Amino acid sequence: MLSLQDSVGSLAGVGPKRVDDLKTLGIFTVEDLLLYFPTRYDTYEVQSPSQAIDQQKLTLQGTVMSEPVIARFGYKKNRLSFRLMVENEIVMVTFFNQPYLKNKIELGKDIAVYGKWDGTHKRLAGTKVISVTTEHNQFDAVYPSNKAIKQPTIRKFIKVAFDKYESVIASLLPPALIERYKLVERKDMIREMHFPSDDESANHARRTAAYEEFFLFQLRLQAIKMENQQKNGISILYHNDELKEFIQRLPYQLTNAQQRVINEICRDLRRPVQMNRLLQGDVGSGKTVVAAIAMYATITAGLQAAIMAPTEILASQHAQNLAQLFEGLPVNVGLLTGSMTAKQHRELTAQIKNGAINLIVGTHALIQESVEYANLGLIVTDEQHRFGVNQRQKFREKGEEPDVLAMTATPIPRTLAITAYGEMDVSVIDELPVGRKQIKTSWLKSNQVGVAWEKVKQELLNGAQTYVVTPLIEQSETLDVQNAQDLYEELQEYFGPQYQVGLLHGRMANDEKDAIMEAFKANKIQVLVSTTVIEVGVDVKNASLMVVYDADRFGLAQLHQLRGRVGRGSRQSYCILIADPKNQVGIQRMQTMVETTDGFVVAQRDLELRGSGDVLGLKQSGVPEFKVGDPVGELKMLQIAKSDAENLLLTPSWETKTENLPLVEYLTIRKLQTHFD
């Protein structure tokens, strides 16, 4: 029987090579393929040149008035051109590097050409010849594609898949909801998304797809929440005196906000239900020590605690700090990462399994199948926004219902937080440690960069260190951005040999990265040129200045994270953004950074300034990504989907109703899959 979960390999024309190609686009099953939606549509409705808008893509139809001529230039480049008579006007049509089109263009024949219109010169830069004799689609879907697999191939496969599987596409949404919101059946939604018959049905389909996406996302979150609530968690009976003593021994006084969230967490730990808590707090608000206290509490109860970080740098920093913090206490810290040798890995996992190590720090390596825990009581995830729903749940399933604390420094507006992290309770640290000086941020144009270098010099003379951040590693032909390698050499010349300049980027080997970070921490390097690998979590108190090149290439949330690398000690700290924004929004973004250091304000402004369809801002903002729906622009719909999902799950025996069977099946399958995130 046909199932949407069939591998794409079951389709005619999709062999093993193509199966691999499709994987590169995240397409495994027929359903993945059918839900691989276009990013836009090209319209082939024929237009008149008199109404054509300059620099727009459009289709013109006319009679070929001259033999096509091919001119060759450069290395392997060519241009085919001919004259086309369109409504008594001569239009020059050119095609670049498509010489084979010559056969399609016959003198005196009628053809239609799709391309970009140059109104001033009455020229059309063609991209496609459209046959006028056969009926053609008014719209052509345009898909995200890559080198391995091109547009026409994707389009062809989707057509093959739809024709074969159309009869088994059942609507997942309950009929009552389809009715209430005037949505379309899933089959029609999929057809219209790929092969729209007109604007209106395309919009209708898009709305259905967005709602379905939101609803399914929320249904999964709410299902997880309910499932977790039903489980009996462990009651972690920690030793209050030992915990108090540990807190007393800290080199500083906890802030009120830290104290409050620790109380919330400790209450959860004691209760025999599974804690599932999100800890939000701006950069530098001191989340790590809160996690450390919770982990210590767990360990005093005789259980293991684990903390997962998104990068190796961060994981090893945590391991070091925690080992130091727990010195002299019965805490054995182990660091588990992907770059260990097989032998190291084997030894460490054995100690995790027999309980000799009771505080496990690591990257994703912590949730691998091969890692077994002796008695995992608490799991902490740092920089939660880097992990997806499934990774959260996978970790939760590692022990026997361990408590979970997820930390994130990406403040997202509360309304969104509860929809995006809908399965969790939320605690917020809304206060910075006292004595923390505000980071002074300024914005310079690239021709004022000398001012920034002067400032670096001044900080160096004060004995402080500097980060210099740049978007790219190596010279790129297409992007005129400062790159780390060049900048590193330039700064070395300028500040050396008196001061040491270091280079850190994502393509370096892990031990190399660690060595550089160590040297910077130990003040053996004073100026660290880096890409965004230092974006999260890195903590060097003596660093007082951050210079960010091409700052307009970063999202605001990301800039805020970057800026959070300074101002972590008692030094007055500075952030200098170098940018030549090209439009008003870019200017406002830089001004926002100058005006505020409050992460929640930055996040809010980021979302406001983000144009529709600007996924970059969203990617960095900690809001989960959706394929069709826009969680910011369509927040209302997301909220509605949330309450609809909750209501459905609260309906007695909803899962036995025939109409909900496709949905039940969907949930069962999704629980077993990981490539959703």
Instruction: Give least dist CB 425 to ligand ADP, A.
Output: 19
283 vs 645 by CB, closer to ligand ADP: 283
Token look-up 């802030």 returns: 255
Which among ligand ADP, Mg ion, none contacts residue 96 (Cβ within 5 to 8 A by kind)?
A: none
Question: How far is the CA of 555 from the CAs of 60, 213, 568, in angstroms?
Answer: 39, 25, 22
490 vs 598 by CB, closer to Mg ion: 598
Which among Mg ion, ligand ADP, none contacts residue 494 (Cβ within 5 to 8 A by kind)?
A: none
Instruction: Give least dist CB 334 to ligand ADP, A.
Output: 21
Say whether 375 sits in a helix, a strand or coil. Answer: coil
Instruction: Give least dist CB 286 to ligand ADP, A.
Output: 3
Which among ligand ADP, Mg ion, none contacts residue 275 (Cβ within 5 to 8 A by kind)?
A: none
Which among ligand ADP, Mg ion, none contacts residue 568 (Cβ within 5 to 8 A by kind)?
A: ligand ADP
Which among ligand ADP, Mg ion, none contacts residue 433 (Cβ within 5 to 8 A by kind)?
A: ligand ADP
539 vs 677 by CB, closer to ligand ADP: 539
Instruction: Give least dist CB 119 to Mg ion, A.
Output: 54
Which among ligand ADP, Mg ion, none contacts residue 377 (Cβ within 5 to 8 A by kind)?
A: none
In this structure, the dihedral spanned by the alpha carbons of residues 292, 298, 300 and 305, taken in order and rounded to 10 degrees, is -70
Instruction: Give least dist CB 436 to ligand ADP, A.
Output: 8
Q: How many residues does the chain have?
A: 677
CA torsion sign for 650, 652, 656, 658 is negative
Token look-up 């952030």 returns: 575
411 vs 537 by CB, closer to Mg ion: 537
Which among ligand ADP, Mg ion, none contacts residue 255 (Cβ within 5 to 8 A by kind)?
A: ligand ADP
Angle (deg, nearest 10), helices 199-230 and 661-672: 70
CB 356 within 8 A of CB 349: no
286 vs 581 by CB, closer to Mg ion: 286
Which among Mg ion, ligand ADP, none contacts residue 289 (Cβ within 5 to 8 A by kind)?
A: ligand ADP
Instruction: Give least dist CB 340 to ligand ADP, A.
Output: 25
Q: Which residue sits closest to ligand ADP, CB atoms considered? A: 286
258 vs 349 by CB, closer to ligand ADP: 258
CB 158 within 8 A of CB 170: no
Which among Mg ion, ligand ADP, none contacts residue 285 (Cβ within 5 to 8 A by kind)?
A: ligand ADP
Which among Mg ion, ligand ADP, none contacts residue 283 (Cβ within 5 to 8 A by kind)?
A: ligand ADP
Token look-up 């530098």 returns: 284
Site pattern 477..516 for Mg ion (x: CB under 5 A): ----------------------------------------
Instruction: Give least dist CB 409 to ligand ADP, A.
Output: 5
Spatial CA neighbour of 30 closest among 69, 2, 67, 66: 2
Spell out the residues 6+ positions from residue 187 whose beta carbon is closer than 8 angstroms to its own: 166, 169, 170, 171
CB 495 within 8 A of CB 466: no
174 vs 362 by CB, closer to ligand ADP: 362
96 vs 252 by CB, closer to ligand ADP: 252
Distance of CA 96 to the CA centre of its chain: 35
CA torsion sign for 525, 526, 527, 533 is positive
205 vs 283 by CB, closer to Mg ion: 283
Instruction: Give least dist CB 597 to ligand ADP, A.
Output: 13
Say whether 116 sits in a helix, a strand or coil. Answer: strand
528-547: contacts with Mg ion (CB under 5 A): 537
Total residues interacting with Mg ion, rule: CB under 5 A: 1
> What tokens does 232 get?
């009996």
Instruction: Give least dist CB 112 to ligand ADP, A.
Output: 58
> What tokens does 498 get?
């008196």
Which among Mg ion, ligand ADP, none contacts residue 539 (Cβ within 5 to 8 A by kind)?
A: ligand ADP
Q: What angle do CA 605, 607, 608 make, to 5 degrees?
A: 60
| Chain contacts with ligand ADP (rule: CB under 6 A) | 252-255, 258, 281, 283-289, 409, 433, 539, 541, 568
Which among ligand ADP, Mg ion, none contacts residue 284 (Cβ within 5 to 8 A by kind)?
A: ligand ADP
Long-range own/partner contacts, residues 26-30 (CB < 8 A, 24 or more apart): 26/675, 28/675, 29/4, 29/5, 30/3, 30/4, 30/5, 30/6, 30/161, 30/165
Instruction: Give least dist CB 407 to ligand ADP, A.
Output: 7
Q: How far apart are CA 119 and CA 52, in angstroms?
A: 8
Spatial CA neighbour of 91 closest among 111, 71, 76, 70: 111
Question: How far is the CA of 455 from the CAs of 358, 442, 484, in angstroms?
Answer: 45, 12, 19
Which among ligand ADP, Mg ion, none contacts residue 411 (Cβ within 5 to 8 A by kind)?
A: none
286 vs 617 by CB, closer to ligand ADP: 286
Q: End-to-end alpha-carbon separation of the chain, Å?
A: 28
Enclosing H/E stretch for 222: helix 199-230
Instruction: Give least dist CB 405 to ligand ADP, A.
Output: 13
Q: CA Rg, the chain, in Å?
A: 29
29 vs 558 by CB, closer to Mg ion: 558
64 vs 283 by CB, closer to ligand ADP: 283
Instruction: Give least dist CB 324 to ligand ADP, A.
Output: 11
396 vs 565 by CB, closer to Mg ion: 565
Strands (DSSP E) found in 158-313: 276-281, 304-308
169 vs 540 by CB, closer to ligand ADP: 540
Instruction: Give least dist CB 284 to ligand ADP, A.
Output: 5
Angle (deg, nearest 10), helices 240-249 and 287-300: 150
Q: How far apart are CA 169 and CA 182, in angstroms?
A: 19
CA torsion sign for 657, 394, 294, 599 is negative
Instruction: Give least dist CB 281 to ligand ADP, A.
Output: 5
281 vs 422 by CB, closer to Mg ion: 281
Beta carbons within 10 angstroms of residue 458's beta carbon: 12
Which among Mg ion, ligand ADP, none contacts residue 388 (Cβ within 5 to 8 A by kind)?
A: none
In 337-448, alpha helices (H) = 342-354, 389-396, 414-420
Spell out the residues 6+ positions from residue 554 whose beta carbon is closer than 8 angstroms to its own: 471, 532, 548, 562, 620
Enclosing H/E stretch for 267: helix 256-270
Which among ligand ADP, Mg ion, none contacts residue 624 (Cβ within 5 to 8 A by kind)?
A: none
Cis previous bond, 497, omega within 30:
yes
Instruction: Give least dist CB 288 to Mg ion, A.
Output: 5
Which among Mg ion, ligand ADP, none contacts residue 660 (Cβ within 5 to 8 A by kind)?
A: none
Instruction: Give least dist CB 543 to ligand ADP, A.
Output: 11
628-667: contacts with Mg ion (CB under 5 A): none
Q: Which residue sits closest to Mg ion, CB atoms considered? A: 537
381 vs 441 by CB, closer to Mg ion: 381
- The residues binding Mg ion (CB under 5 A) are 537
